[in-house]
Chain A
Amino acid sequence: MAGAPRLTRDDVAHVAALARLHLTDEELELFTGQLAEVLDHAADIAQLDLTDVAPTAHAMAVTNVLRPDTLAPTLDRDEVLAAAPSVEDHRFRVPRILGEAP
């Protein structure tokens, strides 16, 4: 980004927490440098004035793709739960949750 401060260790630590990744001090140091290098390379596009250009999120312009409101087969519960790391009462078991959902 034009004139933007270079990516810091704190930025990387913040992003790692958002992404639920734990980094060791060594990883934090290494990744900060590596990611900053990629973002430095991206300066070539961050500097462009593209205010009048519409963003493209889908390469092929398609609209109104819909399915009829009909039932399709469900999965066998035993098969579904067999894949789970922990199960109780036919539900997926997780350790205690610290906060309500947003």
Chain B
Amino acid sequence: MSDSWLLVIGLEVHCELKTTSKLFCGCPNKFGDEPNTSVCPVCLGLPGSLPVLNQNAVEMAMAIGTALHCDIRPSTFHRKNYFYPDQAKDYQISQYDEPINVDGWLELPDGFRVGIERAHMEEDTGKTTHVGTSGRIHGADHSLVDYNRSGVPLVEIVSAPDIRSSAQARAYVTELRSVLVATGASDGKMEEGSMRVDANVSVRRSDGDPFGTRCEIKNLNSVRSVGRAIDYEAERQIALIESGDRVIQQTRHWDEDAGKTQTLRSKEDAYDYRYFLEPDLVPLVPDAAWKGAVADALGMMPAERRARLTELLEEADAETDARTEQIATVVDLGLDDLVVEAIAGGVPAGLALARTANEAATDAEAARKLDPGSYVTLLAMEAAGTLSATQSKAVLAELLSAGGGDPAAIARMKGFEAMSDNTLSVAVTEAVDALPEEWARYCAGEEKLAQVFIGQVMKATRGQANGKAVMAELQRLRAG
């Protein structure tokens, strides 16, 4: 990309709320099922049916607004009128000029704040399948509609045009996803469509210039495609301008396979949505008590949780620089409480973080359900040298797959007897005796050879020896 160009990016993220029922009716909020089974008169748009707002969806929207530092305001619903077969009423009920959440911000891990213009509620559409050779809309012979998704509650989070690079856009989506999961409003599964991203992209020469003409890119279903699509689109716009052409305001579709954006429609084709206040719903006016209750129920947000871990590691004097990624991982996976408990239980901070970020993270869902007590016990055994690292990892794997248990009992079952100091000492002496040349070089200061002896001892004890204890014994022998 030409260095002289600057990007201006705003993101619109649609987030499906994980309520039990749909936004305006009591149908199940799940749509992997058999087509057209989670439907009723309301979400099918049958004549005479009327919507009634789901209280839990409202509270999830308020939780999102609270987490994004928005003002939670009195709000209304409008009808957005357009014909499309997946739209059961041929209008979408959506918040329009009076959204529930306005004027917030999201802080990225590097401290940069992205403004949030609004986060409003709306209903999802049904799902259209295109039948024909391509499986896509163009060239399809006909299409089929399933209304299971019709009326699923969404919150659309609209950022300010504050984002300046594709990397920052990726960081925003990643952080927003963590926040949405932390509020309990979303499962954050982008790959399953529970978060969908549209990006508004424009380019300009310098910071002082007005924004360039923007294009909206739709169909970004992963953090990776957000980055790729923005980069592609920026290059496209720059190439246009540099060749003397101009950017036309339009909506473009990201083709993941082709790695390209393609024109969907231009501004001239803009729909006339004829928004008007939805007469079948009444205004939503949350009072201070209600807003307070939602805020009180909200747990710590990822930024705060990362700060908490960083602080604990600093207190423990563990090197934090290298730990940033591990901290992000455990917070993102919702495993940070395990780390905090382990540190509180006396486990060295570095070990607590490493085991959680590296091993527990491989099955985060099981780890989240783990009894923190048994997790702390296991790590304490490892820290005390009762279990080697290898043994500890094996016990943890068992704990995760079995959904819990007593670490000591599992260790016994696996035959992980703690090795006595004497046995260890014998094993180290045998290793030293077997490799006299290496021992001499180690004694001369070739430190990395310690690994050779540790490996030898591990082999001889079938992984039961504690690496740190072996190291200590080697140093004792050398010093002695």
Binding site for B on A (CB under 8 A): 18, 20, 57-58, 62-75, 77, 80-81, 88-97, 99-102
Q: Is the CB of B36 within 8 A of A101?
A: no
Residues of B near A92 (CB, < 8 A) are 36, 85, 144-147
List 5 A-B residue pairs with CB atoms under 8 Å apart, sorted by A's residue number.
A63-B283, A64-B285, A69-B21, A71-B27, A75-B41
Given A97-B85, A97-B128, A102-B271, A65 and B282 contact (CB-CB distance below 8 Å): yes
Q: Is the CB of A101 within 8 A of B20?
A: no
Question: Which residue of A is nearest B86, CB measured?
Answer: A101
Interface residue? B296 (CB, 8 A): no
Interface mask (B461-473 → A, CB under 8 Å = 1, otherwise 0): 0000000000000
* Distance to closest chain B CB from A5 (angstroms): 19
Q: Is the CB of A80 within 8 A of B54?
A: no
Q: Is the CB of B26 within 8 A of A75?
A: no
A16 to B1, CA, bound (A): 47
Q: Is the CB of B86 within 8 A of A96?
A: no
Residues of B near A97 (CB, < 8 A) are 84-85, 128, 130, 137, 140, 143
Q: Is the CB of B36 within 8 A of A90?
A: yes
Q: Is the CB of B142 within 8 A of A93?
A: yes
Which of A62, A64, A88 has the most B CB atoms < 10 Å from its CB?
A64
Interface residue? B56 (CB, 8 A): yes
Residues of B near A99 (CB, < 8 A) are 137, 264-265
A75 to B39, CA, bound (A): 6
Q: Is the CB of A91 within 8 A of B144?
A: yes
Q: Is the CB of A91 within 8 A of B55?
A: no
A75 to B38, CA, bound (A): 8
Interface residue? B436 (CB, 8 A): no
A9 to B130, CA, bound (A): 37
Interface residue? B171 (CB, 8 A): no
A100 to B21, CA, bound (A): 27
Q: Is the CB of A69 within 8 A of B264?
A: no
Q: Which of B27, B54, B145, B282 contacts A62 (CB 8 A)?
A: B282
Majority SS of interface residues in chain B? Answer: loop
Q: Is the CB of A94 within 8 A of B57?
A: no
* Distance to closest chain B CB from A73 (angstroms): 7
Majority SS of interface residues in chain A? Answer: loop
Residues of A near B40 (CB, < 8 A) are 72-75
In the complex, chain B residues 81-107 whose Cβ is within 8 Å of any chain A Cβ:
82-87
Q: Is the CB of B52 within 8 A of A66?
A: yes
Q: Is the CB of B125 within 8 A of A75?
A: no
Residues of A near B19 (CB, < 8 A) are 69
A80 to B132, CA, bound (A): 25
A8 to B112, CA, bound (A): 54
Q: Which 9 pairs between the two chains have the least Cβ-Cβ distance? A: A72-B26, A69-B56, A91-B144, A66-B55, A57-B277, A92-B145, A63-B285, A67-B52, A62-B282
A67 to B19, CA, bound (A): 12
Q: Is the CB of A63 within 8 A of B282?
A: yes
Q: Is the CB of A94 within 8 A of B85?
A: yes
Q: Is the CB of B83 within 8 A of A74?
A: no
* Distance to closest chain B CB from A98 (angstroms): 8
Interface residue? B158 (CB, 8 A): no
Residues of A near B53 (CB, < 8 A) are 65-67
Q: Is the CB of B140 within 8 A of A96?
A: yes
Q: Is the CB of B285 within 8 A of A94?
A: no
Interface mask (B102-143 → A, CB under 8 Å = 1, otherwise 0): 000000000000000000000001001111100001001111
A18 to B269, CA, bound (A): 12
Residues of B near A62 (CB, < 8 A) are 282
Interface residue? B348 (CB, 8 A): no
A91 to B140, CA, bound (A): 16
Interface residue? B340 (CB, 8 A): no
Interface residue? B312 (CB, 8 A): no
Interface residue? B154 (CB, 8 A): no
